Structure 1
Amino acid sequence: MTQELPQTPDGTDESPYDGPSKSQLKREMHALVDLGRDLVDLSPERLKQLPLSERLYDAIRLAQRTTSREGLRRQIHYVGKLMRDAPADEIRTLLDTWKNGSREQTQAMHRLEALRDRLLKDDNAFTAFLQKYPHADIQHIRTLIREGRKEAAANESLRQGQEPQRKHYRALFQALKALQDPDTEA
């Protein structure tokens, strides 16, 4: 015998419960536990930058000190339980910003490496570089390029097993990096 659902005045069935499903609640809890696991992997300096309650912060620090595998698993689940009262969306946003920030830094380093390689191979690249960075120490950069080219030529004639020289190659990169830093720009 099946039980009929009560009907609304317009003749449609009325659902006795309108909240999230049990499966949805479990997914949300697993997401909070995963977020808690990510928080346990952070350094104490990063944790202090997050909007965490004192109780949650202490639970995370305890999990970081826990060496037992089962104890760590339990503590991470406890951190996930405490995450219910924390601003999880705000924390996720900050974590994402930190991760993407490092991605952006990596891309900036790749751009600097490409610029260095162009400067070592092409004199016209130096002219374009000077137009973009008129405040650069022209003589210093030109010296690093010249010495870097000498290093590259010497490295081509090395025998198998000999270490290539990279002193000026690296120094040129550091000089370009210093030009990119907003703290060093005038």
Structure 2
Amino acid sequence: MSEQNTQPEDELEWVSKTQRKQESEALQKLGRQLTEMGDQLLLKLPLDESLLEAIQLAKRIRNKREGYRRQIQYIGKLMRQRDCDDIIKAIALIEAKKQQDNQAFHQLENTRDAIIAEGDSAIQQFIDDYPQADRQRLRQLSRGAQREQKQNKPPKSARELFKYLREIAESSAE
């Protein structure tokens, strides 16, 4: 009786050429996204030295079309050689933070507009949310913004009101 070899061989997963190209293009797209980021953000990402240098070179030669294209391909090649999940997660965290900040900014703009339009009721609602806010200062800035709006003057008080609202919101977040 002959025994058959029941041990599974190390099977390599077959990947089609199309799938490899799609993965390569996705990494190149990620590389383009990295070249559009600022230097301070790049330093926060888990990039190794060779990849960081390649990204910085791509930033410098952006206006040279063919050279830039080849550099992006090189960045894609470097990224294929390593695990990019941690880079993708770090970028997602940065994007989420940016979106959260943007949402807070719009919320403050809406609050400012409500304070200018509604007056004391909106001021009271803001003070309920942020008890450390100065009611007198809010009323003063609101009246000034309403006056400037009626006289078609530049919105100096509205800008000051927004700065004050942002100051209060940031101080309570800390």
TM-score range with shorter-chain normalisation? Answer: 0.7 to 0.9
Larger relative helix fraction: 2
Alignment partners' CA distance in 2, 1:185 and 1:88:
33
**Cross-structure match for 1:45:** 40
- Report how far residue 118 of structure 1 moved: 1.5
Query: Within the alignment, does 1:126 sit opposite 2:115 as a pair?
Result: no
Alignment partners' CA distance in 1, 2:173 and 2:55:
40
**Cross-structure match for 1:146:** 143
Report the 3-state secondary structure (helix = DSSP H, G, I; strand = E; otherwise coil) of the residue aligned with 2:47. Answer: coil
Alignment check: 8 A CA contact 1:40 1:61 kept: yes
Report the 3-state secondary structure (helix = DSSP H, G, I; strand = E; otherwise coil) of the residue aligned with 1:165. Answer: coil
In structure 1, list runs of 5 or more residues that go unmatched. 1-8, 10-15, 156-163
- Which of 1 and 2 has greater Rg? 1
Alignment check: 8 A CA contact 1:63 1:76 kept: yes
Change (3 A) 1:17 1:104: closer
User: Among residues 31, 40, 49, which one is paired with 1:36 in the alignment?
Assistant: 31
TM-score (norm 1): 0.78
- Report how far residue 140 of structure 1 moved: 1.5
Percent identity between the aligned chains? 38
Alignment partners' CA distance in 2, 1:36 and 1:172:
41
Alignment check: 8 A CA contact 1:51 1:87 kept: no
Count of aligned positions:
163
Counterpart residue identity of residue 158, structure 2: Y
**Cross-structure match for 1:160:** none
CA RMSD of aligned residues (A): 2.2
TM-score (norm 2): 0.83
User: Counterparts of 1:163-182 in structure 2 under 5 Å?
Assistant: 164-182=153-171
